[in-house]
Amino acid sequence: MVWTQIATAALAGAGVANAAYSIATPDDIKKTAADVAWDMMQYYTGNLTGQTPGILPGPPPAGDYYWWEAGAMWGTLMDYWKWTGDSTYNDEVTQAMLWQVGPDRDYKPPNYTASLGNDDQAFWGMSAMLAAENNFPNPPEDQPQWLALAQAVFHTQAAPEQHDDTCNGGLRWQIYLSNNGYDYKNSIANGCFFNLGARLARYTGNKTYADWAEKTWDWVRGVGLMDDDYNIYDGGHVQNNCTDINRAQFSYNNAVFLLGAAYMYNYTKGSDKWRDRLERLTDATIKTFFPNGIAYELACEKHMTCTADMLSFKGYLHRWMATATQVAPFLADKVLPVLKKSTEAAVSTCTGDANGRTCGFKWETRAYDGSKGAGQQMNVLAAVSALLIDQGPPPVTHDSGGTSKGDPMAGSSSRHAKNEPRPITAGDKAGASILTILLIAAGVGTFGWMSTGV
Ligand SMILES: *[C@@H]1O[C@H](CO)[C@@H](O)[C@H](O)[C@H]1NC(C)=O
Ligand SMILES: *[C@@H]1O[C@H](CO)[C@@H](O)[C@H](O)[C@H]1NC(C)=O
Ligand SMILES: *[C@@H]1O[C@H](CO)[C@@H](O)[C@H](O)[C@H]1NC(C)=O
Ligand SMILES: *[C@@H]1O[C@H](CO)[C@@H](O)[C@H](O)[C@H]1NC(C)=O
Ligand SMILES: *[C@@H]1O[C@H](CO)[C@@H](O)[C@H](O)[C@H]1NC(C)=O
């Protein structure tokens, strides 16, 4: 997740006219989800000979996708498996999740240091957490275990060297001093940390995680990244004490906080405090990101200036709002009809390209808009499979059926020094010069205002 302006797919001609998918019955939903998943996986070449398992083509300029997005994709497929029962991709998911753990088993593989933010690391951590919550098949015993991986990510982010007094606290966006964006504190990095803390608290029952989640929520509110109306803004710079808030709003910020708040509500046994926060955040999220009852990426959809990152946010929005209704069932009547209507629009875009079923991005148009990619497929896969949310069991915990092994010490041997020296590789240099070019372009371009924080 770097400050770039990825050219979105050029408007390819209108697709072959085709009847859109059906989501009328559970069987239709499963069939549709299976096809959409298959088409998504055509972007993944990591299991072919000579390729790197676990990643989508990239990171730029080698391909369109930053490292984090594949981590998000594996989580999407874990939910796909849980909700539909189709285990076609489980082995690939496991291989991918384990290949990318890095030498310290904390999702900080050295290959991706140059684009490694706390949010990037946490997207993999959240997928590991999901594996534990979904009782996804456990890795072999000599391999790192799902819960321990989620803990490792959380513990490295809770380490004292990741927290300083600028802006009164909070996590920085980037982990390493050498990265662009180290001077930025943003909602997504803190939102992911909050989300993981809340989920680890519910899963393990350990209050330390809940305390961090509370503290993070309070910080985000205090610094103004979440306002009194529950709008969530992108971030601010430490040299300005985070008062220069970039007010761009992205749906994944709302989604990550919404799901975390639902887990805190559940962890606190339905406390009034978390119920109130969750309810208001849900209302604000529906108002802002479903303006006509259909998911809409506010900051970039109108003029299609969405980066490859942003083209995947609707999927997290749908999946995480759906899961929230399992740990906070009082939300179901409000949320599920919204997700259903939005998903109907989503599948109506899947009529594109030569195969006549490629999905687009502008769901509101109810037609294929020529924008295709792994993110666009992942969005629709998430939305469609989440329609089955009320047919399956809620996420497990350590005392309600969870089998994943944890490790309270996970992550403690990690190298998390913020300015840890590392060799500059040719890849970094290429990355850095591309970044410079793009930043200059963004500075003079129309959309420079929103080119941060993803
Ligand atoms: C790679 O994944 C595809 C499914 O997307 C599967 O059909 C194929 O067998 C896998 N190849 C290897 C080498 O695992
Ligand atoms: C890192 O890059 C090397 C060289 O391309 C590759 O062999 C290895 O699998 C990569 N590791 C990860 C975790 O992506
Ligand atoms: C709770 O979690 C914290 C942070 O990981 C850990 O230091 C502590 O030992 C845990 N407490 C228990 C009782 O497991
Ligand atoms: C920075 O902002 C925080 C509120 O987020 C405030 O409490 C603190 O006093 C400010 N510090 C400075 C040096 O202005
Ligand atoms: C917490 O989640 C469980 C599902 O695991 C659900 O049955 C329960 O009602 C939730 N608690 C509250 C207070 O909603």
Q: Is residue 432 part of a domain?
A: yes
Establish whether the linkage from the previous residue to 61 is cis, with ω within 30° of 0: yes
The reported pLDDT for the residue numbered 18 is: 57
CATH of the domain at 355: 1.50.10.20
The reported pLDDT for the residue numbered 429 is: 36
Query: Which of 58-72, 123-137, 403-417 is the least confident region?
Result: 403-417
The reported pLDDT for the residue numbered 20 is: 82
Q: Is residue 454 part of a domain?
A: no
Whether the pLDDT of residue 57 is over 80: the answer is yes
For 177-222, what is each residue's pLDDT tens digit? 999 999 999 999 999 999 999 999 999 999 999 999 999 999 999 9
For 370-429, what is each residue's pLDDT tens digit? 999 999 999 999 999 999 999 999 999 999 999 999 999 999 877 644 434 344 444 443
Indicate the top mutation candidate among 39, 42, 47 to test ligand 1's pocket, ranked by most ligand atoms within 8 A of CB. Answer: 47
Whether the pLDDT of residue 15 is over 50: the answer is no
How far apart are alpha carbons 113 and 106 in whole angstroms? 13
The reported pLDDT for the residue numbered 413 is: 79
Q: Is residue 436 part of a domain?
A: yes
The reported pLDDT for the residue numbered 340 is: 98
Q: Is residue 331 part of a domain?
A: yes
For 273-304, what is each residue's pLDDT tens digit? 999 999 999 999 999 999 999 999 999 999 99
Give the number of domains in the chain: 1
Q: What is the pTM of this model?
A: 0.90
Residue nearest to ligand 3 atom 8, measured at CA: 408
The reported pLDDT for the residue numbered 453 is: 40
Mean pLDDT of 103-118: 95
Q: Is residue 53 part of a domain?
A: yes
The reported pLDDT for the residue numbered 450 is: 35
> Which ligand gives the minimal distance to the CA of 73?
1
Alpha-carbon torsion 50, 56, 59, 63, what sign?
Answer: positive
Whether the pLDDT of residue 19 is over 60: the answer is yes
The reported pLDDT for the residue numbered 446 is: 30
The overall average pLDDT reported for the chain is 90
Q: Is residue 12 part of a domain?
A: no
How far apart are alpha carbons 141 and 163 in whole angstroms? 34
Q: Ligand 3 centroid to 209 CA: how many Å?
A: 8
Indicate the top mutation candidate among 164, 166, 168, 190 to test ligand 4's pocket, ranked by most ligand atoms within 8 A of CB. Answer: 168
- Cα torsion 313, 317, 323, 325 to 10°: value is 180
The reported pLDDT for the residue numbered 415 is: 60
Higher pLDDT, 138 or 7: 138
Mean pLDDT of 364-373: 97
The reported pLDDT for the residue numbered 202 is: 98
For 159-177, what is each residue's pLDDT tens digit? 999 999 999 999 999 999 9
Mark 156-165 as b/e (b = at least 16 C-beta within 10 Å): bbbeeebeee
Q: Around Cβ 97, how many Cβ atoms within 10 Å?
A: 27
How far apart are alpha carbons 349 and 342 in whole angstroms? 11
Whether the pLDDT of residue 344 is over 90: the answer is yes
The reported pLDDT for the residue numbered 414 is: 75
Q: Is residue 19 part of a domain?
A: no
How far apart are alpha carbons 381 and 30 in whole angstroms? 10
* 3-class DSSP assignment, residue 117: strand
User: Measured from the CA of 109, which atom of ligand 2 is nearest?
Assistant: 13
Which residues, at least 6 apart from 189, have a Cβ–Cβ distance to it below 8 Å?
A: 117, 118, 119, 122, 171, 172, 173
User: Measured from the CA of 44, which atom of ligand 1 is nearest?
Assistant: 5
> Which ligand gives the minimal distance to the CA of 94?
1
Whether the pLDDT of residue 11 is over 60: the answer is no
Q: Is residue 453 part of a domain?
A: no
Which residues, at least 6 apart from 275, have a Cβ–Cβ distance to it below 8 Å?
A: 265, 328, 330
Whether the pLDDT of residue 442 is over 60: the answer is no
Mean pLDDT of 239-243: 98
Which residues, at least 6 apart from 375, have a Cβ–Cβ distance to it below 8 Å?
A: 69, 308, 309, 311, 312, 315
Percentage with pLDDT > 90 across the chain: 85
- Residue 288 sits in which domain range? 26-448
Whether the pLDDT of residue 449 is over 80: the answer is no
